[in-house]
Amino acid sequence: MSKSTFLGAMALTALLGSSAYAQDNFEVWHYYAAGSELAGMNALIDYSNSQAKDAKFTGVVVPGNVVELRRQLQTAFLGGRPPAAYQSSMAFELKAFVDGGRLHPIPDVWEQIKGDEIFPAGVQRVVKIGGQPYGVPFDLSLINNVFYNVKLFKELGLEVPTDWDSFAKACSALSKAGYQPLGNAGGTFWSLYNFYSPLVSIVGEEGYYKIARGELGFDSPEFSKALDLYRDKMIPCYAKNWSGKTWTQTADDVVNGSTGMFMMGAWVAAYFEQAGFKGGEGFDLFQAPGTVGKSVFQMDVLAVPAGPEATIAAANQFLVAAASPEGQAAFAVPKGSLAPNVKVDASVYNYAGAKLAKQFSDASAKDAVLPNLFFLLPTALGTELGNQIQRFAIDPSDATKAEVISTLEGLRQEALANKAFIAW
């Protein structure tokens, strides 16, 4: 056994052998390991502890991301020692464990918190499997906003873009002035999140869900037009060498004024604020072309593994507290995200948070809330969609476009044959 494998096994043994299984002390697993994310999770756990009658909750960080947490959970399930509750992504991430009989449905909790009233329809549809709720949303970020350097826009006399033509005009002006117009970063997600704007521009909300259901092909004229729009209006704006950067490095480029705009999830606003780059002064934001009046969101939920009645009862207490306006605000404010519960008072947010909350509220009222397509698709297809869109962003040639379409359509056909799609 290698040293790294041995150390990993020892760490997991310590994790599984901790105090989670004492009757009055229950673990909540999550992967928020530092900064504002950890601060938000700690605040949520503290609030839940203040509300629980006969249980104490302890947060346990599983380093990495949702993929690593999934691996640790699978090992814990095999050993019969899962946590009382854990952080999960939405949609297919939940469904995988539901299909395996690993999750406990929470209809009683959902009724107690009035889930159908406090969460928008677009949010509800990705936490219910077969009509049963399996997760309580607690962390929501919009991913269809472009953040921009206010000083640069004022210096160049730029209007805030409202459509693709004005967006292209802003990019051109920034480039001519010697600035990088639009930041991006390497990785499965970031180019894909950017691509949702041209995609929704072409297919609309219904077409977006048709792709999620497997009804609209990747070889369709609509998807081809969305790739063309992405290639013509957004990819030419990207900063040089963007694929070699992390999102935080690109955010730093916006702070230091070398890059004018950055389309990124709402969490970048918290990063800006921590850097002393204040909302409304150093940076501001606007909804990307094609998504004005809509909210495309990424969300995390709290799920309850199947287990002993006492553990489930404690987990239910935790979920009820986490769903309350106070619990949601306890997490959202330090994290810099939005509360999925629309009953949370917008006054708890800072400048950027208030703007994002209004966007979400307005979109919710029009049922124009769209979950991240990555998690609506069967896992293998969603992952490959991210890989292929990044590939196209790096090399938007006709040859690459044809290969992207062929690869994704092949996977869609496989998923159709396996009846893997879900009508979210």
- For residue 217, CA distances in Å to 77, 204, 211 come to 37, 15, 7
**Are both 317 and 335 inside the same structural domain?**
yes
Same-domain check for residues 52 and 181 = no
Within a domain: 357: no
Listed in order, strand segments (DSSP E) in 94-245 are 128-129, 132-133, 135-142, 145-149, 180-183
Residue by residue, DSSP assigns 147-173 as EEEHHHHHHHTPPPP-SHHHHHHHHHH
Assess if residue 366 is contained within a domain: no
| Residue-level pLDDT, tens digit, the chain, 424 residues | 443 333 344 344 444 444 334 347 999 999 999 988 999 999 999 999 999 988 999 999 999 888 899 999 999 999 989 999 999 999 999 998 999 999 999 999 999 999 999 999 989 999 999 999 999 999 999 999 999 999 999 999 999 999 999 999 999 999 999 999 999 999 999 999 999 999 999 999 999 999 999 999 999 999 999 999 999 999 999 999 999 999 999 999 999 999 999 999 999 998 999 999 999 999 999 999 999 999 999 999 999 999 999 999 999 999 999 999 999 999 999 898 999 999 999 899 999 999 999 999 999 999 999 999 999 999 999 999 999 999 999 999 999 999 999 999 999 999 999 999 998 8
The residue among 38, 106, 101 whose CA lies nearest residue 74 is 101
Q: Are residues 119 and 45 in the same domain?
A: yes
Containing structural domain, residue 228: 145-296+372-417
**Is 61 part of any domain?**
yes
How many structural domains comprise the chain?
A: 2
Name the DSSP class of 388.
H
For the stretch 294-333, what's the b/e string if a residue is b when 16 or more beta carbons lie within 10 angstroms of its beta carbon? bbbbbbbbbbbbebeeebbebbbbbbbbbbbeebbbbbbb
Cβ contact 122:369 at 8 Å? yes
- The span from the CA of 181 to the CA of 261, in Å, is 6
Residues 58 and 84 in one domain: yes
CB burial of 410-419 (b: ≥16 within 10 Å; e: otherwise) equals: ebbeebeeee
| Together in a domain, 202 and 340 | no
Question: 0.85 cut: is pTM over it?
Answer: yes
The pLDDT, as a whole number, for residue 53 is 84
